Amino acid sequence: MTIGKLEGRIALVTGGLRGIGLASARRLIADGAAVVISDLDDSAAAAPILAELGPAASYVRADVSAEADWQTAHAHVNERHGRLHILVNNAGTDLTGAVESLAMADWRRIMAVNVDGVFLGTRTFTPLLAASGAEVAGGASIINVSSIMGLVGMSEVSAYNASKGAVRMFTKGIAMEFAAKRMPIRANSLHPGFVETPLLHAGFERWAASGAAGSVEDLIDGMNAATPIGRLAQPDEIAGPVAFLAGPDSSYMTGAELVIDGGWTAQ
Ligand code: NAD
C-alpha cells in the first residue's frame, strides 16, 4: 500500500458507507487524505463506520439526487476543510428487468441517482476543486464510478446500461472542458466489473427470487465462471485504482476509462 501519497488532500466520497465507497474511503485515508463521506443514512446509523474510520473521516447525510442536499454537502466540506481535491461520485443504484416491464418512475429514479447525482456533484464542487487543485501535484481529481455496464450491454440491464453510459460520456465532456480552460481538475471514469458488495448481493437475491435463475450461490458460481480471472472482485480491489486516479501518479490521465473487471470486457 502506498502510504502518504495523498497527505494533506481532502476527498468527498458519495455513497461511502458501504461497498466500493467505503473501501475507497478507507484506502484514501490510509494514503493520507481526510475524507468526507456522504450517504443516505442518518448520522446515528453512520456513527459506527465513522468510529472505525477515525478522525480523518466525517459524515454528511446527502441524497445525491437531491439538488438541495448538495448545498448541505458543500457547506460541510467548506466549513470543515475549506478545500476539496478529490471527488468520488460513487453513489449508485441498479435496476433490472425486461425493457417493456420497466416503470417510468423506476427509470427516472435510476437516472436521478446515477446520472443527476454525478452532474450535481460535479457542478457543485467544480469551483472549490479548481481553487484547491492548483495547490497539489497532478491537480484535483473527479472520479466518476461507471461500470463495465457503461461499456457493454447486458440483457435486462438496459436502464443501468444507459445510466452508466451517460456517466462515461459526461466524464469525457467535463474532462475536455477543464482541459480547454486549463482548470487544474482531471476527470476520469472507473469501470468495475462484478464486485462483491451489498448492491450486487441485493441484485442477485432479486434475480434468484424472480425464478429466472437458480439460487444466489448458483448466480455467484455462474458469474465466477464467466469472469476470465475466475472470481468476483472485492471492494478493496476497486479502491486501489480509486486512490491511483485521485493522486499524482495519474497526473497525465483525464477523460480516460479505467476498467477493473478481471478481464470481462476483454473477451
Ligand atoms: P452499495 O449498494 O454496496 O453501496 C452504495 C452506497 O451508495 C450505499 O451506502 C447507499 O446507501 C448509497 N446510496 C445509494 N443511493 C444514494 C443516494 N441517492 N444518495 C447518496 N447515497 C446513496 O453499492 P456498490 O456496489 O458499492 O456500488 C457503488 C458504485 O459502484 C455504484 O455507482 C455502482 O453502480 C457501481 N458499480 C458497482 C458494481 C458492483 O458489482 N458492485 C460494479 C460496477 C459498478
Q: What is the DSSP string of the chain?
A: --TTTTTT-EEEEETTTSHHHHHHHHHHHHTT-EEEEEESS-HHHHHHHHHHH-TTEEEEE--TT-HHHHHHHHHHHHHHTS---EEEE-------S-GGG--HHHHHHHHIIIIIHHHHHHHHHHHHHHHHHTTSTT-EEEEEE--GGGTS--TT-HHHHHHHHHHHHHHHHHHHHHHHTT-SEEEEEEEE--B-SHHHHHHHHHHHHTTSS--HHHHHHHHHHHSTTSSPBPTHHHHHHHHHHHSGGGTT--S-EEEESTTGGG-
For a mutational test of ligand 1's pocket, the pick from 17, 20, 191, 194, i.e. the residue with the most ligand atoms closer than 8 A to its C-beta, is 20
pLDDT for res 15: 98
Confidence of residue 233 (pLDDT cuts 50, 70, 90): very high
Q: Which residue has the higher pLDDT, 125 or 212?
A: 125
1 pLDDT exceeds 90? no
pLDDT for res 212: 74
160 has catalytic annotation: yes
pTM exceeds cut of 0.85: yes
Q: Is 95 in the pocket of ligand 1 (CB under 6 A)?
A: no
Catalytic one of 70, 160, 178, 244: 160
Please tell me the distance between residue 92's alpha carbon and the centre of ligand 1 in angstroms.
4
18 CA closest ligand 1 atom index: 9
pLDDT for res 225: 94
